[in-house]
Amino acid sequence: MAIERNKLRWNGWGWTAHKDALAGREEVWAWLAQELGMPSLLATPARKLEDANLPRPQLAPDLRARLVAIVGPEGVRDEPYERAFHALGRSYHDLLRLRAGDLAQAPDAVVYPRATEEVLALLSLASQRDIAVVPYGGGTSVVGGVSGNRGAFPALITIDLSAMDRVAEIDTLSRTAAAQAGIYGPALEAALAAKGLTLGHFPQSFEFSTLGGWIAHRGAGQGSNAYGRAEDWLAGAKLATPRGLLDTQTFPASAAGPDLLSLIAGSEGIFGIVTEATLRLHAAPAASDYRAYLFRDFASGAAAIRSAVQEGMPSTMLRLSDADETRFYRAFARAGQSATLKSRLEQAYLDARGFGRQACALIAGIEGEKPVVASAASYFAQIARKLGALPLGRGQGGRWLAGRYHGPYLRDPMMDRGLGVDTLETATSWSKLDALYAAVRAALDAAMRETAPRPGAHGVVLCHISHSYSDGASLYFTYIFPRALGGELAQWQTIKKAASDAIAAHGGTISHHHGIGEDHLPWMAQEKGQLGIDVLRAVKAALDPKGVMNPGKLIP
Amino acid sequence: MAIERNKLRWNGWGWTAHKDALAGREEVWAWLAQELGMPSLLATPARKLEDANLPRPQLAPDLRARLVAIVGPEGVRDEPYERAFHALGRSYHDLLRLRAGDLAQAPDAVVYPRATEEVLALLSLASQRDIAVVPYGGGTSVVGGVSGNRGAFPALITIDLSAMDRVAEIDTLSRTAAAQAGIYGPALEAALAAKGLTLGHFPQSFEFSTLGGWIAHRGAGQGSNAYGRAEDWLAGAKLATPRGLLDTQTFPASAAGPDLLSLIAGSEGIFGIVTEATLRLHAAPAASDYRAYLFRDFASGAAAIRSAVQEGMPSTMLRLSDADETRFYRAFARAGQSATLKSRLEQAYLDARGFGRQACALIAGIEGEKPVVASAASYFAQIARKLGALPLGRGQGGRWLAGRYHGPYLRDPMMDRGLGVDTLETATSWSKLDALYAAVRAALDAAMRETAPRPGAHGVVLCHISHSYSDGASLYFTYIFPRALGGELAQWQTIKKAASDAIAAHGGTISHHHGIGEDHLPWMAQEKGQLGIDVLRAVKAALDPKGVMNPGKLIP
């Protein structure tokens, strides 16, 4: 296994040993309290594993023996750490429950198959013997995609793919690779880099998520403008189902009827388990240019992105923070430091040039062959100049790259201090983007005020355009708020519902790249239509007639 | 209706008034006979409509009245020309049957709905009253996609969408348009051109095919390298089914579960009828550069295309003819002309430089903003130079553009002279392309010899790479052969089976852009796997429980 799971947090993000960047920085907490209208932030530590409520495993001994017969004794695990680690994903409300020691959803056993044939045998057994199955890659779902929901079944196993992490074949001529689905991001990219290739799929969870998970939830990496989304780079897949193997052939394109791969991408384990996939690759980029710009407002920044993508400019990432996100991260970095003469002069200069409270930072990242990168970078600089933006150079771009996977680590210390932190995302057409942005911001703000633990307290809403297309873009919201201690799940549900209703009412998709899981179920009927839901149910019935696969996810 | 259907051939291609370029050119026929090992080519004229066998319509009067109640009296047509026009598509073997006056598959009535609601009412009625339905756009299918197959149903109606040809909305900011599915190519492009936009979908059938047809068979236009395939530009669709309307929302991208649009694209009318679609558009190109090159052989030409697409060079079309296609079209154009001193000198010069019998012509087409076109054209010229190709300039590129829709018109005069002409196409990865190419060529050649009407007679096989991707390319085969008069359908089946078996055995898809229809059914189980077929059947059962939609197509 390429990753040492026992060094990962079972109730938080990433490596246990990761240094807490906020430890001892009381000036940051004081500033944050003030931003949220709170007098102070109290310590709210998490329970230890040994104090958690972990139910006894429910698996009958003969069933356990059958599992062992398939995957070997090492492949069936039911010690507390394993079961706790796999109980839930890593969403904000997952962490609320894990930190409270609520492990009611822990699986009865975690099973580690080593080959597609073993997965097929496991699913056939589960279907015959009424065992619910949760497929599990890295477990980083933030939408309840791997919650240990057993539906109406008496037992639940989690099938963890992380022992299936081999790159089976790299076709350098066709620029494709076949790999097992349990491979983690870094191991996959290392194998490809050895051949001068890259998949280019770098979600924020890159270090802790797997190929199969990216496909199952239809993900998009931060560089998807250049490298595509999961459904774009997915060229072929083996889907193990309770009824056998669905093995799509791999073609560059085909008109042989509907595309079954597009049913597999985004299927979130409800039809079966992706065990192997063939991927479209790119040459490892020879050059890379990440630089920042400051736009006068969100509209002009968005217009720059729209121009670039509609005019066919090659880009890897065009990320525009709104004014609040721009100011928040700037202030966060400087919290507790008294303003220096230099910083005051800088701000005065920016104000004088019209870059005041509405100013928005944009990072333009371009990767590829050297001449292509140089010409695209200069093309974007021209677009930005025409729209009155201020070039900030490469420093901020480089800092963003260096910290691209660090954001989720900040959530744990915040949760230790009575705060809630969650993210959500959507996408819509360019013509609906402004209204959607305003509506979701307003909904989040109102719901956080309404559910605040004390009068006058409130949250902050940060947003950026994260991915862009010729016909529209995605909006990624981060919201931070003081927790209503004791009523935290209800508070989260109120906020989530307000935002999701606003998304659905303003022409946004309920998810651009996080997926549906359990959290977005209430909006699926509107998203797909009743007949669309019927179609998904029919596909599920054809592949998983007993309904053992990942109960309670994706289909309402 | 934007097109005058009564001016189109019911048993051939395109406008009745189109001038026959081969009329009276006996020197061409003599040359062609020689190429095929035949002493001469006899006249084999088609039957007239009044001499054809057209069965009496089977629709009960009360059902006809119900149809009239939905679409009005003008919308229900059952005169001979209407029924004959809609009996079959326009494949080679469709024409064999039509020209022989075999109209056994003519529908009982042709119905012209004017709105989605009318289509829904028609499908609901058909499902209740056991009427088979063939959805019909332009009717140019070359794979039996619109054959009047009534399955086990007593009656058959064809639903012709051509009265639904309105562009409902153009969103210039998001570069999308919503249009009714029955709009023909030229009318759609004219409406978009008025806003400075283009869909860029230009299949060879462009003048005579419709938006809905392009989506239903998952088509690719000649410029798909730049403008994408139907499944790429399709942003949203209304699918009218016997169970009601499946109305996908339109998003630039979504992770809300499997993509239902990818089930609709390529569904060939077996789930329902696409009545309206939202399309991703491009700016009408400011510049265009089509120029030809001569490569020493197929391998070096293919390598040039592979380099261009893998290095991300913007291209609209990169079309490489194999050596036989290169020579055939050159000789065809000069047939009967004695070689001039100039042409002999040219050939001597080419031979001396290594461009002999293996030489392959490539047309590189690039469209877009002026600087992009200029830089891509020069980029490709560099690639070609490195691979030893000879630049032939813009003349041949311009001639190709001028004649891009004319090819199918040559089939009718050839069929009048005892010849068979058919095309087929496939796609595979770059690493399998050579073997697939050789196998299909060999299979076609052997089957045409085996079924030739006399010893020593044979066919010609022409091939080009028509569409290219980072991971592979499509191969488009044209084959011309002397007909085995009296046993023509069996001859065609033998040839088609040999080629299709070779495709399936060598990792090709059974269709890259023509679709499945009736003709490719025998290879679908291998293409999709048995479980994949089960999935498609389950979707069909969910949307069309009685199975009235386009019987006998797509699903074996």
- The per-residue pLDDT for range A316-332, each reduced to its tens digit, is 999 999 999 999 998 88
Nearest CA in chain B to A315: B312
CATH entry 3.40.462.40 includes domain A287-404: yes
Instruction: Say yes or no: A196 contacts chain B, CB-CB below 8 A.
Output: no
Residues in chain A with CB shorter than 8 Å from the CB of B227 are: none
State how far Cα A202 lies from the chain centre.
10
Give the one of A175, A229, A510 whose C-beta lies nearest to B470's C-beta: A175
Can you give the pLDDT at residue A267?
98
Kindly report which listed range (A526-530, B22-26, B71-75, B136-140) carries the lowest average pLDDT score: B22-26
Could B542 and A537 be called an inter-chain contact, meaning their C-beta atoms sit closer than 8 Å?
A: yes
Q: Closest approach of chain B CAs to the CA of A149, in angstroms?
A: 18
Give the one of A246, A253, A473 whose C-beta lies nearest to B252's C-beta: A473
Specify the long-range contacts of residues B120-123, CB closer than 8 Å, at least 24 apart: B120/B240, B120/B244, B120/B245, B121/B70, B122/B67, B122/B70, B122/B71, B122/B157, B122/B159, B123/B240, B123/B241, B123/B242, B123/B272, B123/B273, B123/B548, B123/B549
Nearest CA in chain A to B540: A535
Residues in chain A with CB shorter than 8 Å from the CB of B527 are: 249, 254, 256-257
pLDDT for B271 beyond 60: yes
Can you give the pLDDT at residue A343?
79
Average pLDDT, chain A: 96
Give the one of B175, B429, B520 whose C-beta lies nearest to A310's C-beta: B175
More confident residue, B130 or B351: B130
The string of pLDDT tens digits covering residues A378-406 is 999 999 999 999 999 999 999 999 999 99
Instruction: Say yes or no: A238 contacts chain B, CB-CB below 8 A.
Output: no
Residues in chain A with CB shorter than 8 Å from the CB of B245 are: 529, 531
pLDDT for A65 beyond 90: yes
Q: Closest approach of chain B CAs to the CA of A335, in angstroms?
A: 36
Say which amino acid occupies B318: L
The string of pLDDT tens digits covering residues A497-551 is 999 999 999 999 999 999 999 999 999 999 999 999 999 999 999 999 999 999 9
Can you give the pLDDT at residue B344?
81
Give the one of B176, B431, B509 whose C-beta lies nearest to A429's C-beta: B176
pTM of the model: 0.97
Nearest Cα to A119, choosing from A3, A273, A5, A326?
Answer: A273
Can you give the pLDDT at residue B350?
85
Could B235 and A265 be called an inter-chain contact, meaning their C-beta atoms sit closer than 8 Å?
A: no
More confident residue, A350 or B481: B481
Residues in chain B with CB shorter than 8 Å from the CB of A244 are: 531
* C-alpha span between A158 and A143 (Å, rounded): 17
Could B542 and A538 be called an inter-chain contact, meaning their C-beta atoms sit closer than 8 Å?
A: yes
Can you give the pLDDT at residue A252?
98
Question: Where along chain B do its domains lie?
Answer: 5-163, 167-283, 287-404
pLDDT for B388 beyond 90: yes
Give the one of A368, A471, A513 whose C-beta lies nearest to B175's C-beta: A471
pLDDT for A1 beyond 60: no
Q: Is B60 exposed, middle or buried (0-12, 13-18, 19+ CB in 10 A)?
A: middle
| CATH class of the region B5-163 | alpha beta
CATH architecture label of B167-283: 2-Layer Sandwich (3.30)
Instruction: Say yes or no: A231 contacts chain B, CB-CB below 8 A.
Output: yes
Can you give the pLDDT at residue A124?
98
Instruction: Say yes or no: A522 contacts chain B, CB-CB below 8 A.
Output: no
What is the mean predicted confidence (pLDDT) over B329-349? 80
> Confidence band (pLDDT; 50, 70, 90) for A341?
confident
Can you give the pLDDT at residue B301?
98
Can you give the pLDDT at residue A21?
87
* C-alpha span between A331 and A361 (Å, rounded): 13
Average pLDDT, chain B: 96
Give the one of A245, A251, A514 whose C-beta lies nearest to B255's C-beta: A514
Q: Closest approach of chain A CAs to the CA of B432, in angstroms?
A: 9
> Confidence band (pLDDT; 50, 70, 90) for B140?
very high
A520 Cβ contact partners less than 8 Å away, ≥ 6 residues apart? A143, A500, A510, A511, B256
Nearest Cα to B473, choosing from B483, B486, B463?
Answer: B463
DSSP A24-51: T-HHHHHHHHHHTT-S-----PPPPGGG
Say which amino acid occupies A408: P
pLDDT for B285 beyond 80: yes
pLDDT for B1 beyond 60: no
Report the share of chain B in percent with pLDDT over 90: 93
